[in-house]
């Protein structure tokens, strides 16, 4: 086992990883920007290193600064969390060159899944079902139009190196294809330094369902079940639950089998999530793979009792999986709501500022992952995620009631601060969500705000 883990991240995930490291008896090194010097993980860590100013490209995305911090503190492992450099092949390779264990998949695996076109080709070879799409990046608007015409509208134009719901556009008519192709290429170059795009069939009324895997370096791959992540806005997940409700008989098992086959073909190591789109008719198609811990991992932990971060660390230390398929027996339902510092009344514009009041719920089977505290100043420089509320219950109806109750307990305020808690409460109460008849369009057509209009 390692002696010291450097956490190359910030916010709630850095704090969550630090807590598991403490339970495993490992020293914790927190890196931070000048903006995050008073963060909760810095207070908890055994040692902290300031790695740069507030802009992420000069701190959390600065690979030389991260490696130097690991060397200086004697860290023999690096946990990248999610976002930032969590799936960066260059960071994984540099860690290996410097004798630092990267807690995640090796660089060649990250390179494959970082290229959506290469990933689609590999998954097709592994037998996973794919939506119709272009096998290679169109070299011109005319080629993109020809590909879209062959696939059939609507289509979605995506960046090959994309992620996080960025650099993509849905096209419903042929006349709009050329402008969308040019726009996505421009966005892809600006965001990822790679202007390659591809065209794929777009499913409108679909569900977004994923399978959580653990994979060791000895060829063992284990499925921990499904999650439903269909409630999204701007392709950013808002509500997740495990297991995915009301899937047709046998579908969860077939998706798990496909995910395991894909992970074996790619050589995934550590935590891996295979994401699928499920059509109203019950067919499914591969979407993408994330070789890292997911924001929504707590719902899987709540129904399985497995600490996914602890398993990540053990796997990175070279150990075989500590679990067998018969050890994974999901129980009940877990639901997670992401509380963002955004203003729903102003098109969800970020609403950072100091927290003068910060009271989050508790009670039986309630988990709160947050880096906030009274007096904490939510920075404007980073993602707006402030807290994750997670509940568990023996069945979905009781989980829904529990989530409605805990959302009502949230008391978060401060100058300029607004959150999405009320908006999420309305989505939870929506009959479509209550009956598990929702899809990815739910948050685009939310129920009305019951507050009086002045």
Question: Residue 219 in 3-state DSSP?
Answer: coil
Q: Let me know if 214 is exposed, middle or buried by CB neighbors in 10 A (0-12, 13-18, 19+).
A: buried
**Residue with token string 């399978």:** 211
**CA–CA–CA angle 168, 171, 172 (5° rounding):** 155
| Catalytic residue (one of 120, 292, 396, 418) | 292
Contacting residues for 419 by C-beta, under 8 A, at least 6 apart = 339, 340, 341, 342, 351, 386, 410, 412
**Residue with token string 């971060």:** 309
With CA atoms as reference, report the closest residue to 79 among 45, 112, 113. 45
Helix boundaries (H) for 51-104 = 63-73, 89-97
With CA atoms as reference, report the closest residue to 68 among 86, 36, 94. 94
**Residue with token string 């996080």:** 164
Please state, in angstroms and as integers, the Cα–Cα distance from residue 89 to each residue in 2, 115, 260, 347, following that order.
22, 11, 22, 35
Task: Please confirm, yes or no, whether 292 is among the known catalytic residues.
Answer: yes
Q: Report which DSSP code applies to 417.
A: -
CB 147 within 8 A of CB 153: no
CB 417 within 8 A of CB 341: yes
* Residues designated catalytic: 292
């Amino acid at each position: 086992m390692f002696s010291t883990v450097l956490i190359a991240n910030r916010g709630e995930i850095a704090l969550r990883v630090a807590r598991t490291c403490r339970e495993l008896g490992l020293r914790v090194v927190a890196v931070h920007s000048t903006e995050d010097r008073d963060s909760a993980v810095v207070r908890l860590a055994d040692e902290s290193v300031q790695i740069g100013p507030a802009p992420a490209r000069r701190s959390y995305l600065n690979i030389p600064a991260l490696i130097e911090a690991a060397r200086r503190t004697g860290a023999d492992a690096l946990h990248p969390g999610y976002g930032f450099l969590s799936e960066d092949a260059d960071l994984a390779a540099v860690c290996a060159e410097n004798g630092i264990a990267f807690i995640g998949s090796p660089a060649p695996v990250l390179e494959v899944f970082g290229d959506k076109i290469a990933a689609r080709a590999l998954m097709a070879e592994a037998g996973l079902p794919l939506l119709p799409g272009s096998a290679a990046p169109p070299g011109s608007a005319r080629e993109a139009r020809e590909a879209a015409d062959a696939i059939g509208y609507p289509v979605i134009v995506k960046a090959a190196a994309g992620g996080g719901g960025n650099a993509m556009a849905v096209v419903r008519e042929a006349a709009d294809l050329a402008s969308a192709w040019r726009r996505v290429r421009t966005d892809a170059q600006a965001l990822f330094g790679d202007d390659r795009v591809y065209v794929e069939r777009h499913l409108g009324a679909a569900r977004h369902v994923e399978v959580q895997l653990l994979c060791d370096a000895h060829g063992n791959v284990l499925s921990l079940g499904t999650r439903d992540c269909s409630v999204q806005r701007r392709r950013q997940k808002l509500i997740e639950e495990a297991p995915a409700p009301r899937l047709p008989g046998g579908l969860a098992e077939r998706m798990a089998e496909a995910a395991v086959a894909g992970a074996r073909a790619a050589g995934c190591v550590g935590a891996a999530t295979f994401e699928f789109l499920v059509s109203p008719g019950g067919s499914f198609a591969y979407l993408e793979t994330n070789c890292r811990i997911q924001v929504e991992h707590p719902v899987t932990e709540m129904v399985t009792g497995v600490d996914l971060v602890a398993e990540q660390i053990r796997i990175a230390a070279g150990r075989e999986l500590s679990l067998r398929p018969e050890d994974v027996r999901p129980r009940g339902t877990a639901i997670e709501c992401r509380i963002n510092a955004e203003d729903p009344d102003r098109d969800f514009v970020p609403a950072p500022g100091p927290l003068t009041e910060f009271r989050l719920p508790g009670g039986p089977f309630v988990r709160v992952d947050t880096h906030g505290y009274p007096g904490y100043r939510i920075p404007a420089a980073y993602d707006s995620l402030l807290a994750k509320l997670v509940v568990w219950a023996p069945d979905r109806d009781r989980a829904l009631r529990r989530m409605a109750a805990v959302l009502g307990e949230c008391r978060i305020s401060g100058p300029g601060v607004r959150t999405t808690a009320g908006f999420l409460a309305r989505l939870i109460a929506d009959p479509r969500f209550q009956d598990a008849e929702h899809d990815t369009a739910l948050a685009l057509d939310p129920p009305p705000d019951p507050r009086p209009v002045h």
